[in-house]
């Protein structure tokens, strides 16, 4: 299971986490949306990189579920929540 964190603390490093950004819709200023920052996955013995991310404009709960699935599938140790306005609290994430 992938850990969900609000701060990047040791022993985690930027190279081991996916960053999930939470923001308000620019259209209505109220709907909470989310996306994963692009993350480069190195493969082919270091000769290639595949960039993975999620689209913009997705409701936060759906986007969060997508990021957790990607993190699990790509072996990320954690998902770092970037939510400076506290729009997506732990309770809404299905966490305590």
Q: How many domains are contained in the chain?
A: 1
Amino acid 96: pLDDT: 43
In a domain, 96, yes or no: no
Q: Which of these, 30, 7, 21, 29, lies nearest to 67 by C-alpha position?
A: 21
Burial (Cβ within 10 Å: 0-12, 13-18, ≥19) of residue 35: buried
Spatial separation of the C-alpha atoms in residues 68 and 4, rounded to whole Å: 9
Q: Which of these, 56, 60, 49, 47, lies nearest to 15 by C-alpha position?
A: 49
- The boundaries of the domain holding residue 11 are 3-87
Q: Which of these, 22, 5, 23, lies nearest to 14 by C-alpha position?
A: 5
In a domain, 28, yes or no: yes
Amino acid 11: pLDDT: 87
For residue 31, pLDDT over 80 is answered with yes
pTM of the entire predicted model: 0.88
Q: Average per-residue pLDDT in the chain?
A: 92
């Amino acid at each position: 299971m992938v850990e969900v964190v609000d701060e990047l603390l040791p022993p985690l490093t930027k190279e081991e986490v996916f960053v999930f950004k939470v923001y308000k819709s620019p259209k209505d200023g109220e709907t909470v949306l989310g996306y994963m920052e692009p993350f480069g996955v190195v493969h082919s013995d270091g000769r290639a990189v595949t960039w993975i991310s999620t689209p913009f404009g997705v409701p936060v709960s759906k986007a969060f579920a997508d990021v957790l699935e990607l993190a699990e599938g790509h072996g990320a140790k954690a998902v770092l929540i970037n939510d400076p306005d506290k729009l997506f609290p732990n309770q809404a994430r299905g966490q305590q």
